[in-house]
Amino acid sequence: MSTLSRRHFLKSAGAAGAGLLTGLQCLNPQTIQASNKEKSKPNIIFIMADDLGYGDLGCYGQDKIQTPHLDRMAKEGMRFNQCYAGSTVCAPSRCCLMTGYHSGHSHIRGNKRHPLLPEHVTIAEALKEAGYTTGIIGKWGLGEPDTSGVPNRQGFDYWFGYLNQARAHNYYPDFLWKNEERFFFERWTYSHNAFTDEALNFVRQNKDNPFFLYLPYTIPHAFNEGGVNGMPIPSDKPYSEKDWPQNEKNKAAMITLMDRDIGKIFALLKELDIDDDTIVFFTSDNGPHREGGSNPEFFRSSGPLRGIKRDLYEGGIRVPMIARWPGKIQAGSVSDQVWAFWDFPSTAAELGGAAMPSDVDGISMVNALTGKPQKNHDYLYWEFHEQGGKRAIRLGDWKAVRPKWSGPIELYDLKNDREEINDIANAHPDIIRKMDDLFLKARIDNEFYTVK
């Protein structure tokens, strides 16, 4: 989308919103006042962990790591069994989440530092145009300083955190970015704690108007130097006395700390009397890592799934997803709806009365959230530009994986084999031909990601 067409899109979206408002103004003022609370736009909070596995939460089967607040979130909302990240590593997954394109069409498809461009429309920009105050606190990964990819130039009113993923591996930085200025810490600070404080302040400051808060935490990503300090945290409580490797104690403590702070956010929503007016999502950017001395098998972080971060098997891309919205999402519900990060922009846009460009790959999942018949994707597609290149497609219950870019296709029946143990490609040549065709149709080259 060109800069000119982007401006035209935003102008048109704003006009559509104004037309809706004009229509409401024709109603009896007493009717508007009486129904205002019910019809007002919901606040939207999207919380994302970093390298948290499908099996790292109690509500997804974890029996060693304590996650009481997220488990309660699932009891009070909807837990999805088949939600997928945008990619199996950081930056491309976040690009899909913000722009609504899968990794065959998105601008950023690897962890190289390519910024979003002026013509790209993010969900933050669309919601801002619809009247939302927008904020991001945590890890961005989609643009370096003074580039078009800085969050403040991509629709966010407020920004605090790490711009690139390499610096985000240090939990004790000397500075973070606050909007487009460096914010230096006066004392040694664990960045996760600063993120929680900023998130709570953002909610307090914007309680009287619709807001979108994107909270991409860095927990439980490994520290970039590895070794015994590979999973740093101020305290390994409540696991100090466990007979576990120190890095596993630290990882568990990270996840429980994050869980505690998410509990603080829910408590604040109730204190401010905006709990019923706020939809909260929780997920992870990709599967669990084997970095910093941590072993994903120790906690069975992928749950029953095969693979970890940097794999396109289920353990690398299927992620926990919980959504909570009191009175709108049925408490204690569990959904097998298949969806992916590139659906979030269309979903949030529908919730907020906004609009995303018509050519995005995502579709709104509002119906799935509210228990109504839901439109499904024809297929889901991923490509990964490391380790020689990998690709995957989900078509119904069929899952095709190409561990090498143009190598043989492996085929799995996820309905009967979600562990992806039995490659049944030889038994289904017709499905392989269809998948081979989709591998060609599902993607286009861009200037950074070409296939020779």
Q: pLDDT tens digits for 42-77?
A: 999 999 999 999 999 999 999 999 999 999 999 999
Higher-confidence residue of 9 and 162: namely: 162
- pLDDT score at 431: 98
**Which tens digits make up the pLDDT trace of 383-430?**
999 999 999 999 999 999 999 999 999 999 999 999 999 999 999 999
Tokens 């006395």, residue located: 241
Q: Which two tokens stand for residue 25?
A: 């103004």
Tell me the HSE value of 242 on the side-chain side, using a 13 A CA sphere.
Answer: 17
Please give the average per-residue pLDDT across 323-343, as a whole number. Answer: 98
> What is the overall mean pLDDT for the chain?
91
Q: Look at residues 63, 85, 66, 50 and name the one whose alpha carbon lies nearest to residue 259.
A: 66
Within a 13 Å sphere around the CA of 176, how many CA atoms are in the beta-carbon half? 29
What is the number of alpha carbons within 13 Å of residue 149 lying toward its C-beta? 20
Q: Are 105 and 444 spatial neighbours (Cβ–Cβ below 8 Å)?
A: yes
pLDDT at 379 over 70: yes
The closest of 96, 62, 50, 46 to 302, measured between CA atoms, is 62
> Is residue 443 a contact partner of residue 104, using CB atoms and an 8 Å limit?
yes
User: What letter does residue 58 receive in the DSSP assignment?
Assistant: G
* DSSP symbol at 342: G
pLDDT value at residue 249? 95
d(Cα 176, Cα 80) in Å, to the nearest integer? 33
Residue pair 382/95 in contact (Cβ under 8 Å)? The answer is: no
Query: What percentage of the chain reaches a pLDDT higher than 70?
Result: 90
Q: Is 141 left (phi over 0), alpha (psi -120 to 50) or beta?
A: left
- In the predicted model, is pLDDT for residue 7 greater than 80? no
Residue pair 344/97 in contact by the 8 Å Cβ criterion: yes
pLDDT at 209: 96
Report CA-CA distances (Å) from 156 to 123, 247, 281: 10, 35, 18
Q: Which domains does the chain have, with CATH numbers?
A: 41-373 (3.40.720.10), 382-441 (3.30.1120.10)
Q: How far is CA 82 from CA 262, 321, 398, in A?
A: 22, 8, 13
CA atoms in the 13 A half-sphere facing the CB of 252: 24
What percent of the chain is helix, strand and coil (3-state, nearest 5)?
35, 20, 50
Q: Give the global pTM.
A: 0.92
pLDDT band at 451 (very low <50, low <70, confident <90, very high): confident
pLDDT > 80? residue 22: no
Which of 11, 224, 276 is closest to 111 using CA atoms? 224
For residue 34, give every residue at least 6 positions away whose Cβ sits within 8 Å of its Cβ, in sequence order, or none.
none
List, for residues 104-160, the tens digit of each pLDDT value.
999 999 998 899 999 999 999 999 999 999 999 999 999 999 999 999 999 999 999
pLDDT band at 230 (very low <50, low <70, confident <90, very high): low
